[in-house]
Amino acid sequence: MTELNIAVIYFSATNVTANYAGAIQKEIEKLNARTSLINITPFDSRKQGQKLDTYDGVIFGFPVYSDLAPSVVNEWIDGLDGKGKKCAMFFTYGGRTTGYAHFHTMQLLRNANFKVEFSAEFLGPHTYNVAGWTALTGRPSENDYQIVRDYARLAVECFSAVHESEFRLQKPFGYNTVMDSKRNPPVKTERGWTNPTRVVEECDHCLLCETECPVNAFDSETGLSDFKTCISCMHCVYICPNQAIKANEGMKAGYQFFLTDWNLTEEMMSAKKSRLITESWQAAA
């Protein structure tokens, strides 16, 4: 039997999705399959295209931003050709909800000629924790890693099988309305709290903020992110070796508004569990 070869492709601004992708890779390799870990976070990495012909299956791992995978990821998927290849998905989120991400990404992958086998969702520290939030600081837990092990076994099983699964997802309530609003977003006219800037002079000018920005939005010379293209992923804040880049101080105070607006507490978020998504009803918002 030919050794199974799997690509694990991920987008990760603050390393949460990268950690899960790496954990999945290790578990798959324990099952005697080969893997390649492919990071599509940097802007230039998505310009090169992806040659997937040599893989028996592909795993896509993305964070959830405002109910969907990042917009740049969705645009990137549009340019792929899966050529009928099997794939699986997983999403990371910081305690609120995965929203429409499972269903929408599945639709995009199917349109790109992939055969989606299953999905999963994993809990991790919220993206805005680097701006002063304290959501799920203790995750991943051992229970989360158990789902990683289950995910790896299911991926090997599905990608090894001769037949495809009949995986489907129920369309979430309000999906069409949400997608209509995404097609015509309001034009940003001013910098917001979530658009990072360089706030201190102690900067080595290593240029990581500019070269590693997923959307090419940060200008290392001015120390400003372009608020019209910035996706508020906090990657520049996370990777700055001098901790010279920050989000607006109002972001920290905004955490309580987030909890109140979504009727959440830290205890409620911590009680949520990572899980496999294998049935049509499991990911409906």
* Model confidence band, residue 285 (pLDDT cutoffs 50, 70, 90): low
| Other beta carbons within 10 Å of 73 | 25
Domains in the chain, please, with CATH? 5-174+269-276 (3.40.50.360), 197-246 (3.30.70.20)
Average pLDDT over residues 15-31: 98
Percent share of the chain, pLDDT over 70: 99
Distance CA 157, CA 282 (A): 21
Mean pLDDT of 232-241: 96
What is the chain's Cα-based Rg? Answer: 19
Question: Please, where are the H alpha helices in 79-216?
Answer: 101-111, 142-160, 175-183, 208-211
Give 190's pLDDT tier (boundaries 50, 70, 90).
confident
Residue 28 backbone phi and psi in degrees, to 5:
-65, -40
Q: Quick: pLDDT tens for 29-76.
A: 999 999 999 999 999 999 877 789 999 999 999 999 999 999 999 999
pLDDT at residue 222 is higher than 70: yes
* Closest-CA residue to 55 (of 39, 33, 74): 33
Contacts for 21 with CB less than 8 Å, ≥ 6 apart: 8, 10, 12, 37, 59, 61
Collapsed DSSP state (helix, strand, coil) of residue 88:
strand
Over range 104-123, report the average pLDDT: 97
For residues 128 and 255, is the Cβ–Cβ distance under 8 A?
yes
Q: Is the pLDDT of residue 1 over 50?
A: no
Higher pLDDT, 283 or 159: 159
pLDDT in tens, 92-102: 999 999 999 99
- Whether this prediction's pTM lies above 0.85 is answered by yes
